[in-house]
Structure 1
Amino acid sequence: MLSRTAESVFGIGRSVERADGTARLLDVHLQLLNEEPWIEEDLACRSLLGVLGASVPDDERLTRADVLGMLAVDRHNAASIAYSLGAAREDARRAREFVSTELWECLNTTRARMPRKVASDKVHEFFGWVRERSALAVGIIESTTSHDETWNFFTLGRSIERADLTARLLASRMLTEVAGPSWTTILRSCGAYEPYLHTHRGVPSARTAAEFLLLDPSFPRSVLFSVRRAEQCLREVEAATERAGTEDDAQHLLGGIRSSLEAAPVAAILEDLPSRMEQVRQATTEVSDAIRARYFPTDAAPSWAGGR
């Protein structure tokens, strides 16, 4: 597989996961704003923009309609659902020889049907549609793609994006302040509320909810599960490309995240949750940079063998 093709497949995984995660986060928190009128709307909207890495205007009061426009349907905002789905479709076009016809048609149709505006009474329906289309794309990969380099790069991108989004969510000041949304809301934002109840069978507490989202080895959206899956994908990519045994910064960084989570007591993590999650988020960024430098070099100087 050419490096530019691998980069495109990696990008599809990240973009599909980002669209799905953003839809889940916005769906829960915009519903919360509708149901809880005493929540400070401007502060909550700014916090949402911050969680997803979007630029936050300083000189205007933000409303839920502003957030919906910026993070859902704005095709030019890199943090938006529309941008992510467009990027996934464009990467699929670049990697067309390695992308199945079913996946291409799925991403192409999703991009074509992406609305430019969402009516206020159709917001929940829109986010459900985004989740369904993202799940369809992932299902096609899982059911029609051999577990080779294509699957590994796609899953690697998804896993890193998932770990990053969960860490962003937990690091957000809005979600760790006493006045912020409850841990039930946080779990719902990750699609983790029902799996949490099946595991703990009780009202979420800060300790048990944080432990579930960070360290549960079976829940696919936990940070630890995502990091382990990313490590596995990298090992298989190295074996397939005959690079096993060589220096790999991405593997070292992922191993550092995993070790820090497995070794630290949950109580210690909770004491400094925003700082620790910011470290995880920063590490996922460094992992992405290391993967690009190793497998998708774009500025490597040309070299010649046997010439003067």
Structure 2
Amino acid sequence: MLARNAESLYWIGRYVERADDTARILDVTVHQLLEDSSVDPDHASRTLLRVLGIQQPDHELDVWSLTDLVAFRRDNPGGWSIFDSISAARENARGAREVTSTEMWECLNTTYNTLPERVRAAKRLGPAEFLSYIEGRAAMFAGLADSTLSRDDGYRFLLLGRAIERVDMTVRLLLSRVGDSASSPAWVTVLRSAGAHDTYLRTYRGVLDAGRVVEFMLLDRLFPRSVFFSLKLAEHSLDELHHRAHNRVGATAEAQRLLGRARSELEFLRPGELLDSLEQRLARLQKTCSDVGEALALEYFHAAPWVAWTDVGRYDALVIEEGEI
């Protein structure tokens, strides 16, 4: 597979997942601001911006200005909006048509082309319909990718990007709640933002506290948005890409080593120790996502620089000298 196609598929996976996760998080925050008058809109908005890594504006924030910044703004200098993520995913798909299916391309292209109309409607009627549309289109894209792509290297790069972005967004969510009390209602917000509320309640029979929420979001082996599940999926995708799942000396690629180390630290961690140094643990996971991205770029995406034949220059110089003589 060409390096540019592999990189495009990897970033398509990341950008679609980023748009989906951002829409989920923003949807929960908007409902919280509209339904609970005791919540300070500016404080809640700035908390969300920290989660998403978007630059904090100088003016006071409310529901409308927050939605404009996180969802609608194009070429956002302070971070990635939903509009930016969909645009970037579509641009990558446009340049990699030979390795994506027609259905995937049409899904992204249609989503992109309908965004201006959806934005205008959301500015009149509220953001709920727009955010629901983004979540639905992201789910449609994931389903089309799963049902129309061969399980080859291209599919693995798409899954790899999706899994790494999911780890990063989940870690950002948990980081935003570090320091909250164990019984804070903000932990319900975390679960809802990750689409994990119903599954969590079924798993823990309705008991809600910070320790169990963190345990579920980090360590659960079965929930597809947990950090452990996503790390395992990314690691498996890399094994498939290397075509040598049983290396006699273990992981030799840097990205594989980083993912394996992060996964093993979680896998063999005692649940009771999870809240100890939680902020440092989450910061390490976030750095791992960044380091894995750089390692993948060096291993797969960066083409070798063009090298000129030195003899050509020497030959031209000899010809010039002979002509002068």
Fold similarity call, TM over 0.5: yes
Displacement of 1:296 after TM fit? 0.3
Residues 211 and 274, structure 2, Cα contact 8 Å, conserved in 1: no
Q: 1:261 aligns with which of 254, 259, 266?
A: 266
1:177 corresponds to: 180
Query: Does residue 1:99 correspond to 2:100, yes or no?
Result: yes
1:113 corresponds to: 114
Residues 235 and 244, structure 1, Cα contact 8 Å, conserved in 2: no
1:291 corresponds to: 296
> Which amino acid counterpart does residue 252 of structure 2 have in structure 1?
E
CA 165–104 in structure 1, closer or farther in 2 if over 3 Å, else same: same
1:29 corresponds to: 29
2:72 corresponds to: 73
**Counterparts of 1:295 and 1:30, CA distance in 2:** 40
Give 1:166-245 correspondences, 5 Å limit: 166-173=170-177, 176-178=179-181, 181-239=185-243
Please report the RMSD computed on the Cα atoms of aligned residues, expressed in angstroms: 2.2
Displacement of 1:264 after TM fit? 2.3
Displacement of 1:122 after TM fit? 3.4
> Which amino acid counterpart does residue 97 of structure 1 have in structure 2?
E
Displacement of 1:273 after TM fit? 2.1
1:9 corresponds to: 9
> Which amino acid counterpart does residue 71 of structure 1 have in structure 2?
V
Displacement of 1:303 after TM fit? 4.5
Unmatched 5+ stretches in structure 2: 313-325
Residues 238 and 244, structure 1, Cα contact 8 Å, conserved in 2: no
**Counterparts of 2:191 and 2:54, CA distance in 1:** 22
Give 1:155-174 correspondences, 5 Å limit: 155-173=159-177
2:315 corresponds to: none
Query: Does residue 1:60 correspond to 2:59, yes or no?
Result: yes
Displacement of 1:38 after TM fit? 1.4
**Counterparts of 2:26 and 2:276, CA distance in 1:** 27
Residues 171 and 275, structure 1, Cα contact 8 Å, conserved in 2: no
TM-score by length of 2: 0.88
**Counterparts of 2:53 and 2:130, CA distance in 1:** 22
TM-score by length of 1: 0.92
> Which amino acid counterpart does residue 14 of structure 2 have in structure 1?
R
**Counterparts of 2:209 and 2:187, CA distance in 1:** 7
Residues 16 and 85, structure 2, Cα contact 8 Å, conserved in 1: yes
CA 27–259 in structure 1, closer or farther in 2 if over 3 Å, else same: same
- Deviations, residues 227-277 of structure 1 (Å, cap 9, x unaligned): 00000001111118xx99783110111011111112222332213222211
Displacement of 1:126 after TM fit? 1.3
Secondary structure of the residue that 1:51 maps to in structure 2?
helix
* Structure number, greater radius of gyration: 2
Residues 211 and 266, structure 1, Cα contact 8 Å, conserved in 2: yes
**Counterparts of 1:256 and 1:304, CA distance in 2:** 40
- Deviations, residues 211-240 of structure 1 (Å, cap 9, x unaligned): 111011110000000000000001111118
**Counterparts of 1:257 and 1:52, CA distance in 2:** 22
Displacement of 1:198 after TM fit? 2.1
1:45 corresponds to: 45
> Which amino acid counterpart does residue 222 of structure 1 have in structure 2?
S
The percent of aligned pairs where both chains have the same amino acid is 43
Residues 215 and 274, structure 2, Cα contact 8 Å, conserved in 1: no
- Deviations, residues 25-48 of structure 1 (Å, cap 9, x unaligned): 000111111111111221111111
CA 197–144 in structure 1, closer or farther in 2 if over 3 Å, else same: same
Unmatched 5+ stretches in structure 1: none
2:320 corresponds to: none
1:279 corresponds to: 284
CA 181–41 in structure 1, closer or farther in 2 if over 3 Å, else same: farther
**Counterparts of 1:50 and 1:259, CA distance in 2:** 28
Aligned residues: 303
Query: Does residue 1:83 correspond to 2:84, yes or no?
Result: yes
